[in-house]
Copies of this chain bind each other. A is one copy, B any other.
């Protein structure tokens, strides 16, 4: 796998100097100042270019089913995964609405949904399933999620998708998720990456009750026990505890870092994959910023480990990439400040 180079230190210093030279009180731009400097370093350009052209910000939603969903870990039945994929295709989901409002392109891919979408027109179905790895993923407390071959296929698929999006003009990439039961494998990736027990990483997802939460903890405990020392290796972790959609998301985030395109992360799934990507290629995280704080405890734990602090905390627990999309205008505010505010020197001060 190609090496990840960090964003340019020289550009970062240059951008920090521009920030200090703006006609604003020192530090007055707060996190927007830091964010603009990071983005400039990622772009290698001062001032940074505003990512507001059509197609400049692109979200890919990786959809897949999860064997654990048949074991009472979710408030929703697995059939919802496919139904929501159809809603994304129709542009009527939550993230569709927010993405349209902020000029973000949305693409949905079936990496591991447990159905064939036979009802869809051939061209739509072909595009949706262009990178499909398998139907569903193994129930991680009973069996591996993926074979070693499938993990490699999913990682490669994700990286290829990132490159397709970059070729289409992406200046910022976002990742989104759809898959009933996916918070369980995502929490497993974080437990594995941080060496934490199940009870510390499990949350209520889209809304399980107390019994469901206890089942989730039990499933995750069994999964971590089953995986054993394999969790020391991030690729083995994806095979044992992940899924096709999460492995592809990890590949996508790695591809973005390898090709030097900054990413706004979303919630639990996105951050679990970012953590895994950074385990595979240490330093990949330098290309990522956190869009939104999840209500899931594991996301905050992983973000702390990665040294990231979310831009937004609006109590969203919709998934789909919605938290990342909602944070896009915050990034644009940061770029506007670093790019368009007068320099003190221009004001003759």
- Show the binding face of A for B, using Cβ within 8 Å: 22-32, 50, 52, 75-76, 83, 87, 90, 92-94, 96-98, 100-102, 206-207, 295, 311-319, 325-326, 329-330, 332-333, 335-337, 339-342, 346-347, 349
Contact = CB atoms under 8 A, between A and B. Distances in A.
Contacts of A330: 312, 314, 326, 329
Contacts of A317: 25, 27-28, 30
A341 B97 contact: yes
A66 B122 CA distance: 69
B94 A337 contact: yes
Given A101-B52, A316-B30, A25 B206 contact: yes
Nearest to A206: B25
A303 to B, nearest CB: 16
Contacts of A340: 92, 96-97, 100-101
Contacts of A312: 312, 330
Given A24-B94, A316-B28, A101 B207 contact: no
A262 B101 CA distance: 20
Nearest to A25: B206
A347 B83 contact: yes
A314 B334 CA distance: 11
Nearest to A92: B342
- Interface centre among A97, A329, A337, A340, by most B CB within 10 Å? A97
Given A76-B25, A87-B347, A332 B101 contact: yes
B93 A318 contact: no
Contacts of A92: 23, 340-342, 346-347
Given A83-B347, A97-B341, A318 B24 contact: yes
A290 B290 CA distance: 23
A23 B314 contact: no
A97 B22 CA distance: 12
Given A87-B342, A312-B312, A318 B98 contact: no
A346 B102 CA distance: 24
Contacts of A314: 30-32, 311, 330
A325 B24 CA distance: 16
Nearest to A292: B30
Given A25-B317, A28-B318, A97-B337, 16 more contacts: A23-B92, A23-B93, A24-B318, A25-B75, A28-B316, A30-B295, A32-B316, A32-B326, A83-B349, A92-B340, A93-B341, A100-B336, A101-B336, A102-B332, A102-B333, A312-B330
Contacts of A27: 207, 317
B206 A98 contact: no
A318 B87 contact: no
Given A25-B75, A28-B316, A342-B87, A98 B337 contact: yes
A75 B337 CA distance: 22
